[in-house]
Chains A and B, each alone.
Chain A
Amino acid sequence: MIRRRQVLAGGLAAPFVAKAQARARVVVVGGGFGGATAARFLRRYDPALDVTLLEPNTVFTVCPFSNLVIAGGRDFAAQRFGYDAVRAEGVAVVHAAATTIDTAARTVMAANGTRYPYDRLVLSPGIDIVWSGLAGYDEAAASKMPHAWKAGEQTLLLRRQLEAMPDGGTVVMSVPPNPYRCPPGPYERASLIAWYLTKHKPKSKILVLDAKDAFSKQKLFQAAWKQLYPGLLEWVSLSDGGKVTRVDPASLTFETEFGSHKADVGIVVPPQRAGAIAAGAGVADRSGWCPIDPMTFESRLVPGIHVIGDAAIAGAMPKSAFAANAQAKVCAAAVVSLLNGKKPDEPRLINTCYSLVAPEYGISVAGVYRPANGVLADIEGAGGTSPPDAPAEQRIQEAMFGEQWFATITAEVFG
C-alpha cells in the first residue's frame, strides 16, 4: 500500500511513471449490499486503487423490511437508495450490467459497450430465479403469483394484491428447499401478512406450503404464531405434504404430492441460484452457487475473481444482507493485501438477522464464523437465537434493534 503511494508521489524516473500509471484496478459487479460495501471499503483500505462498480439500476431497492411494506406497515420509499455516497468515496459507478467476463484477458464487458480491465474482480450479483425449477412458474407467472424475492415492482404488486383481496380469502405461499436468500424471510413474510389480515381481514387465512421440515428460528416463530395468529396462519411441512410440485398461474393453484390448494393471493418463493453473471464467468458450480476460499472469498474455480454475498457458498453463513456486508469488508481487505503482495489475515465474521413476527415483536439469530477445513464454519458456543422464554419487553427491544440495524447498515452501504 505504502509502496505504491510512494511510487505515485515520487514517480519521476521513467520506469516508475509506467508503474504509476498502472494503478491496480478492481472491478466490482453488483451494487447491492455486498458490492456497494466492497467498492467503498476497497477505496478506504487503499486510496490508490482504481475501483469501478457496475450496477444497472440508478436506485437500489433493498429487501430487508420489504415484508413490512408488503403488510402495509412501511413506506416503499424507505427501501430506496442511490449511489451518490458511493461515488463520493471515489468509486467510478457505472450504471450498466456486466454482460461477459473474459477471465483470460481479465476484462469485463458491460452493456454500455465498454470493456473494463481488472487486476481483481469482485462479484456480488445476488440471486437469480431458476425459472425451470418449479413447474408452471415462469416470468409471466410472476406477474400473477409474485415472488417479491427481489424487492421493487414485485413488492408493490404483492401489496396491491393483498389490499384487493376480499375478507375471507386465502393467501398461499410456497417455500423452496435450502439454500435460498434470507432463510427466515418466508416466515417473517407469513407473520407480517398474518398481522395485516388479523387487523384488516380477520376472516382470511394464510397457508405456508414448505419443501422443508425445519426452518430458521422455527421454535420462536411457531410460539409467536400460536400466541398472535391462532387459526389464521398454517404451516405445512414437507412430511405433511407441503412440497409444491407445480403451480398454475391462471387459476392461482398450488399442487403438492398430497393435493392442490387454490389461492386468492398466491406467493411463490422460488428456487434460486447465483446471479447469472456468475455462471457466465465460470465461478458457479453445478449447484448454481459459487465455491470460495473462506480466507479471501476468491473463487475456487477461477483465480482473480472473488465472490461475496448471496451468490457465494459461504458455509455456515446464511444468505443475508448482514452477511454480504461483513463478507464485503473482509474480501476488500484481502484483495488489498493480495494486490500489495501480502498474505491476507485469517478473518472472523459475524452475522445477525432480525425478523419481525409483528411490528413490535422482533426475534434474532446470530453467528460468528471462521475458516475451518476450507469452509466458513460456526464457532461453537457462540451465536444462536433469541431465548424462547424472553419477556415481551425483549421482543419489543429486538424489533427496535432491527430497525436500528437497518438504519446503520443502509447508511454504511449507501449513505
Chain B
Amino acid sequence: MNRPTALGLALLLVAAAPPPPGASSCSGCHGGALPLAGREAMQTTETLLAFRSGERPSTVMGRIAKGFDPSELGLIAAWWAAEK
C-alpha cells in the first residue's frame, strides 16, 4: 500500500481547510476551459500579481485582483493548488 508522503498529507490538510476569503468565488468562471484546481501555487500567485499591477493585460482579472492584497492572493492560489 502507498503510504502518504508528508507533502501529500499537507495538501490533504489544506484541501480539507475552508477556502480563504474570496477563493470560493473563483469557480464561478474557473473550471472547465479555465481550470484553477491543482495549478501550481507560485505560478498562480505570480499571474495574479501581474494582473493586479497591470503588468499582464487582461479583460476582467485586473479589476478583480485589485480587490486583494498580495498575501491574500497567495492564500487563494495555495488553496486552489491543493484542490482537485
A residues in contact (CB < 8 Å) with B: 41, 45, 322, 325-326, 329-330, 333, 336-337, 345-352, 364, 366-368, 370, 379, 381-384, 386, 394, 397-398, 401, 404-405, 407-409, 411-412
Contact = CB atoms under 8 A, between A and B. Distances in A.
24 contacts: A45-B18, A326-B25, A337-B18, A345-B20, A348-B67, A352-B29, A366-B64, A367-B67, A379-B67, A381-B66, A381-B67, A382-B65, A383-B66, A383-B67, A397-B59, A398-B60, A404-B33, A404-B34, A405-B28, A407-B32, A408-B27, A408-B28, A408-B34, A409-B29
A333 B27 contact: no
A226 to B, nearest CB: 22
Interface of B: 18-22, 24-34, 59-60, 63-68, 72
A364 B76 CA distance: 23
A381 B34 CA distance: 25
B24 A408 contact: no
Which secondary structure dominates chain B's binding surface? Answer: loop
B68 A348 contact: yes
Contacts of B29: 352, 401, 404-405, 408-409
Contact of B60 (A345, A347, A364, A409): A364
B55 to A, nearest CB: 17
Contact of A411 (B19, B26, B31, B60): B31
Nearest to A378: B67
Given A368-B64, A368-B67, A401 B28 contact: no
A333 B31 CA distance: 20
Given A381-B66, A384-B63, A333 B32 contact: no
A345 B21 contact: yes
Nearest to B76: A348
A117 B29 CA distance: 35
A382 B67 contact: yes
A326 B33 contact: no
B22 A348 contact: yes
Contacts of A352: 28-29, 60, 64
Contacts of B67: 348, 350, 367-368, 379, 381-383
A366 B64 CA distance: 7
Q: 9 shortest A-B CB distances, which residue pairs? A: A368-B67, A382-B67, A350-B25, A348-B21, A348-B22, A329-B24, A382-B66, A326-B25, A379-B67
Given A368-B64, A382-B64, A401-B59, A345 B18 contact: yes
B24 A409 contact: no
Contact of A330 (B24, B30, B59): B24
B21 A329 contact: no
B31 A386 contact: no
B66 A386 contact: no
A409 B28 contact: yes
A408 B28 CA distance: 7
Among B24, B26, B32, B68, chain A packs the most CB atoms within 10 A around the CB of B24
A408 B19 contact: no
Contacts of B21: 345-348, 370
A337 B32 CA distance: 29
Contacts of A325: 28
A368 B22 contact: yes
Contact of A401 (B27, B60, B64, B65): B60
A412 B27 contact: yes
Given A349-B22, A404-B29, 12 more contacts: A326-B25, A329-B27, A333-B18, A347-B21, A351-B25, A364-B60, A368-B68, A404-B34, A408-B27, A408-B31, A408-B34, A411-B31
A398 B67 CA distance: 20
A411 B31 CA distance: 9
A317 to B, nearest CB: 11
Contacts of B64: 350, 352, 366, 368, 382-383
Contacts of B25: 326, 329, 348-351
Contacts of A45: 18
Nearest to A347: B21
Contacts of B32: 404, 407-408, 411
